[in-house]
Amino acid sequence: MVLRMVRQKISLLINNGLVVTLDPEMRVIDNGYLAIDEDRIVDIGKGDGKDRYVAEKVIDAGKGIILPGLLNAHTHLYGILLRASPWFSKIEPPTDFHQNLQRIWWVLDVLLRHEDAYASALIGSIELVKSGVTMFLDTYSGPNSIAGVLDYIEKGIREVGLKALISFEATQRRSLREGFEGLAENERFIRKNNRDKSNPVRGLFCLHASFTVKDELFKKARELASKYGALLTIHAEEGMIDVMHNIERYGLRPIERMEKLGFLGNDVILAHVVHVTREELSIIAKSGTHVAHNAMSNMLNAVGVAPVPEMIELGINVGIGNDGYVFDQFENMRTTYLLHKVSKRDPRVLAPIDVIMMSTINVARMFHMEKQLGSLERGKKADIVIIKPNELPTPLTTNTVYGHISNRSSSKDVDTVLVNGEIVLENRKLTKLDEAKAREYIHRVVERLWDRLESSGKYQLDVLEL
C-alpha cells in the first residue's frame, strides 16, 4: 500500500533559488524553496516545494538569490529632492560640514511643505524598494511644516508598500519652542500608529544633534520614549562642530553628555559617530546603544571615516544607512566594504558577510524586530528579495554568493520584493502604484520647490546660543 503525502495549502511558494537564510546557522541552500502563508514564512527547504505544498501562486526564482528584505538604518527621504538640482551651481560652495548645513540643508528645510514630504516619501520608497529594501528609518526636517507632516510621509510609504519607522527631527537651532513642537509631532504620530504592532509605518523620537539641542529637550525625548516604548535616534559627531560645541558649552564630548543625561540605551540609534574617541565607544558599547553608519554620505560631506571596525570589535551593533544620499542599498554596502579597507590600509578589514549583516539582521536588532525580520526563518515575516543577476562573470554557488552580493550586485538585479508576503515589486515593476504617473507628479512638486530655492538665496545661520 502506497501512502500519498497530503500537500499543505499555502498562499505563496518561491522555488528554484539559492536561499541565503542568515539564520543562526548561516545556512545557504542551493536549489531551495520558501513556503509562505499569508504574511509568514512557514517552511524553508531544498528541492521542489511543489512536492509538499499547493500554493495559490508560485514564483520561479530562476536560480537567483533569495535574501531577507534589506533594511536601511538611517535615511532622509527628503534628501532625494535635491538630486541634480541646478541650484547647487548658484550657491557659494561649502568648505566644511557646518557650511553644508547652513548653505544647503537649512535653506532647504525651511522651504519644505507637506506636498514635498509626500513626494519625497513616494520617490524615496520607490528607489529603496527597487534596491531590495523592505523597511527603513526616516527622519524629516521641515520647521515650517511640522504639524501633521508624518501622515503625509506615511501615505507615500504605504502607497509603495514598504515598512518604515519615521520621525520629525526636533531641533532648537531657531527657537526653543520649535524643538518641543517637533517632539509633539512625533508623540502624536506614535500615539496614532504604534499601538498596533502590525502597523507597517510606525513612529520614533528624533533629535537633530546635540549641538542644536538643549538638555531639557534631551530629557523630554528620553521621557517620552520610555513612556511609549518607542525608539530614539540622533545624529552624533557627524562633524567637528558637534564635538567642539559640546566641549565649549558643556565641558563634555557629545557621547559623554548623552551618558550624563541618561539618554543612551538599547532603544537609541546614533547616526554617523565619526569623530568619536575610544572612551566614547566604550560608553556606547556599555549602554547597548546602536550605530547607523552612512559611509557614502560621510564621503560626500568630507567629514571623515567612522571607526566601524573598532565598533565591531567592542560589540557595538552597526547597521548601514544612506543619510538621504544614494538610495541603492547595494552601493552603500559596497562602499562600506571598501572604505574601511582603504582607511585602515588593510584588505582584511570587513568581510562580505559583515556588510550583508549590516543591512539585514543588525538593523532588525536596532529596530527591536529581530524576531520578525532580518533573516529567513520559519515564523518570521515574509519580507523577501529575489535577485536575478543580468550577468554572472563567475559561478553563483553556496560558496560564492556572499562575494557576489558584496562585489557586484546592484538595484538593477532586484527582480521581486515581498513585504508581509505581499508582492510589491515583480519583474522589476511596482505592483501597487503607477510609477510613471507618480514620477510625473513628483517632478512637478520638485520643480516648484527648486523655484522657491532659486528665489531664497539666503544662508540659514545659527541664531540661538545653545
- Predicted confidence at residue 370, as pLDDT, reads 98
Same domain, 94 and 52: no
Q: How many other C-beta atoms lie within 10 A of the C-beta of residue 343?
A: 16
Q: Is residue 390 part of a domain?
A: yes
Mean pLDDT of 39-61: 96
Sequence-distant (≥ 6) Cβ neighbours of residue 263 within 8 angstroms = 218, 221, 222, 232
Same domain, 173 and 126: yes
Helices (H), 77-167: 97-100, 106-109, 114-129, 149-160
Domain that residue 272 falls in: 70-366
pLDDT tens digit sequence for 253-294: 999 999 999 999 999 999 999 999 999 999 999 999 999 999
Same domain, 144 and 226: yes
Q: What percent of the chain has pLDDT over 90?
A: 94
Same domain, 41 and 84: no
Strands 429-430, 422-426: pairing kind: antiparallel
Q: Is residue 462 part of a domain?
A: no
The H or E element spanning position 228 is: helix 215-228
Same domain, 284 and 386: no
CA pair distance 232, 353, nearest whole angstrom: 27
- Predicted confidence at residue 315, as pLDDT, reads 98
pTM score, whole prediction: 0.96
Same domain, 197 and 155: yes
- The DSSP result for 393-450, as a single string, is SS---TTTHHHHHHHT--GGGEEEEEETTEEEEETTEESSS-HHHHHHHHHHHHHHHH
Single out the residue of 238, 315, 236 nearest to residue 268, CA to CA.
236
- Predicted confidence at residue 457, as pLDDT, reads 65
pLDDT tens digit sequence for 403-457: 999 999 999 999 999 999 999 999 999 999 999 999 999 999 999 999 999 998 6
Q: Is residue 83 part of a domain?
A: yes
Give the three cell numbers for residue 46. Answer: 531544498
Q: Is residue 45 part of a domain?
A: yes
- Predicted confidence at residue 456, as pLDDT, reads 85
Instruction: pLDDT band for 6, please (50, 70, 90 cuts).
Output: confident
Mean pLDDT of 232-250: 97
pLDDT tens digit sequence for 126-168: 999 999 999 999 999 999 999 999 999 999 999 999 999 999 9
Q: Is residue 194 part of a domain?
A: yes
Mean pLDDT of 357-368: 98
CA pair distance 70, 23, nearest whole angstrom: 14
Q: How many folded domains does the chain comprise?
A: 2
* For residue 23, pLDDT beyond 50: yes
Among 366, 393, 413, give the residue marking a domain's end.
366
Same domain, 179 and 252: yes
Q: Is residue 279 part of a domain?
A: yes
- Predicted confidence at residue 45, as pLDDT, reads 97
Same domain, 412 and 276: no
* For residue 102, pLDDT beyond 90: yes
Same domain, 278 and 420: no
- Predicted confidence at residue 208, as pLDDT, reads 98
- CATH number of the structural domain spanning residue 360: 3.20.20.140
Same domain, 261 and 387: no
Q: Is residue 98 part of a domain?
A: yes
Give the three cell numbers for residue 215. Answer: 538638555
Q: Is the dihedral of CA 98, 100, 103, 107 positive or negative?
A: negative
Instruction: pLDDT band for 89, please (50, 70, 90 cuts).
Output: confident
Give the three cell numbers for residue 145. Answer: 511644516
What average pLDDT does the chain have? 96
Q: Is residue 459 part of a domain?
A: no
- Predicted confidence at residue 234, as pLDDT, reads 98
Mean pLDDT of 390-399: 92
- The DSSP result for 310-357, as a single string, is HHHHTT--EEE--TTS---HHHHHHHHHHHHHHHHT-TTSS-HHHHHH
Same domain, 115 and 258: yes
* For residue 46, pLDDT beyond 60: yes
- Predicted confidence at residue 376, as pLDDT, reads 98
Which residue would you say has higher pLDDT here, 430 or 4?
430
- Predicted confidence at residue 390, as pLDDT, reads 84
* For residue 464, pLDDT beyond 70: no
CA pair distance 57, 53, nearest whole angstrom: 11
- CATH number of the structural domain spanning residue 41: 2.30.40.10
18 DSSP assignment: E
Same domain, 25 and 97: no
CA pair distance 150, 280, nearest whole angstrom: 33
- Predicted confidence at residue 461, as pLDDT, reads 65
pLDDT tens digit sequence for 302-359: 999 999 999 999 999 999 999 999 999 999 999 999 999 999 999 999 999 999 999 9
